[in-house]
Amino acid sequence: MLRRDFITLGGTATLLAACGVETKPPYKGVDITGADYGRDFKLPDTDGRMRSVQDFAGKAVVVFFGYTQCPDACPTTLAEIAGAKKLLGADGARVQPVLISLDPERDQPDVLKSYATAFGPDFIALRGTPEQTAAVAKDFKVFYRKVPGSTHGSYTLDHTAASYVYDPKGRLRLYVRYGSGPQALADDLRLILQG
């Protein structure tokens, strides 16, 4: 009886595949394939070169919005991305982390570059003008705002603390919630890289 049920299930799966019914991979992040936002970013890197998702064709791109003086969410997320790359072994080289600064006022290019590459030599940071930053954040539905600090002129930023994953063809595929962990991200990236 168990063998017959297994054969029936296998036959049903084959029939569904033949009929064009697609089964989606079991992502741990939120599948946002086909979303009408976050289709690209066009911002200068810390060397002044304009970058977009097309620059990283053939790689899975993980985009995170943050800032260098972030006390917790940003370093945690960037460390998780670095950890996921490590868990992927040789395939980790096919993952491109991109940090987009939400604080261009304080995140000067040299500071931003040092911060990003502290998590891995291939981490890239982008920094636009305040207007460019606002436009890209809006396009990705990323919330951010200044929160005054305890001393005059000091502040932190409240911001969306999630990552966005593009597949090697440059299509936005996943929204990864803050704190998902490196293993969950690595599992999703493996599926994305397999196509």
How many Cβ atoms are within 10 Å of 156's Cβ, its own excluded?
Answer: 15
**Helices 73-87/182-194 angle, 10° precision:** 50
Annotated binding site for Cu cation: 70, 74, 159
Annotated binding site: 70, 74, 159
List, for residues 18-47, the tens digit of each pLDDT value: 555 566 778 999 999 999 999 999 999 999
List, for residues 154-180, the tens digit of each pLDDT value: 899 999 999 999 999 999 999 999 999
- List domains and CATH numbers for the chain: 25-194 (3.40.30.10)
List, for residues 111-159, the tens digit of each pLDDT value: 999 999 999 999 999 999 999 999 999 999 999 999 998 998 889 999 9
Report the predicted TM-score, pTM, of the whole model to 2 decimal places. Answer: 0.86
List, for residues 60-99, the tens digit of each pLDDT value: 999 999 999 999 999 999 999 999 999 999 999 999 999 9
Residue with tokens 């919005």: 65
